[in-house]
Amino acid sequence: MNDNNEEIFLCAICNVESGTCNEDCKFCTQSVRYKADIQRYTLKSIEQIVLEAAKARANGAVGFCLVTAGLGLTEKKTKFIAQAARAINKENLGLRLIACNGTATVEQLKELKAAGISNYNHNLETSRDFYPTICTTHSWDERYQTCLNVKEAGLKLVCGGIFGMGETQEDRISMLEAINSLDPMNVPLNFFHPNEALPIVKNTINREEAFDLITLARKMIPNAHKIMVAGGRELMFGDEQYEIFKRGANAFVIGDYLTTTGRTPKDDVDALESYGYKIAKNFHVMPDEK
């Protein structure tokens, strides 16, 4: 558990392309099927992405994640994310770049790595058995294979999931076991954020269960450099959200998420400092990256 001496890592998200996905994931407002009231747009300009990266760094982020809607990488998206990565790195901001663009081949991932992407985020979302109840347009096995592709391409894997979609505790344990089998560098834990447009109507876990799941993830995935709390943090934990660091987390997302708003980065940073936490100023080079 975090004793206030361990650094807290902050990450920011850039929603490069929003609300254009044709998949049927029942937890996701990005799907066009559910007609959620969100911003929908195709690829942002490179200039806008670079501005957001600089702002994220100024707000204390050490990681910056480029996210696109849709099943996976296409030739066009691969080239665009690579172009964005090169433009950001040219600014020497000191950010570790993460891509989160769905299913991907080894070749596509190698192209991103060559452009300066360090990590690739692809979540398993839930257990293999429960997955067909939340998504029918692609399989859990496809997600797992992409994670294997990330490793083969030489990128660091970021892999997590979502809690509170109606899954059982056995499903949660099964997902964490699968994530651990992939030996990811970072594990983002999301907590379902209800939206009236979605087929899943409510979050099925309470706050204490959510805290316990963070602790369980830290225990079951001991080699992960970061256990990160991402989507749903504010709604799930409310005025106790900074207790996550006493339960095993050492990272979280600042600013807005993909289609929901978060606290202001300043509010988060001020709160962390008031509790005596040390905020990481730089990402850490892993032993096999030296």
- Has 65 been labeled as part of a binding site? yes
Which contiguous run of DSSP H or E holds residue 58? helix 46-58
Rounded to 5°, the CA angle 232-172-165 comes to: 45
Give yes or no for a contact between 229 and 249, defined as CB atoms under 8 angstroms apart: yes
Which contiguous run of DSSP H or E holds residue 111? helix 106-114
Here the tokens at position 193 are 């954020």
Q: Residue 25: helix, strand or coil by DSSP?
A: coil
DSSP secondary structure of 151-195? HHTTPEEE--EEE-SS--HHHHHHHHHHHHHT--SEEEEEE----
- Has 100 been labeled as part of a binding site? no
Give yes or no for a contact between 17 and 69, defined as CB atoms under 8 angstroms apart: yes
Identity of residue 170 = E
- Has 135 been labeled as part of a binding site? no
- CA dist., res. 277 & res. 214, Å (int): 18
- Has 28 been labeled as part of a binding site? yes
DSSP secondary structure of 219-267? HHSTT-SEEEE-TTHHHHHGGGGGGGGGTT--EEE-S--SSS----HHH
Q: Residue 48: helix, strand or coil by DSSP?
A: helix
Which residues belong to the annotated binding site for [2Fe-2S] cluster? Answer: 65
Which residues belong to the annotated binding site? Answer: 21, 25, 28, 65
Which residues belong to the annotated binding site for [4Fe-4S] cluster? Answer: 21, 25, 28
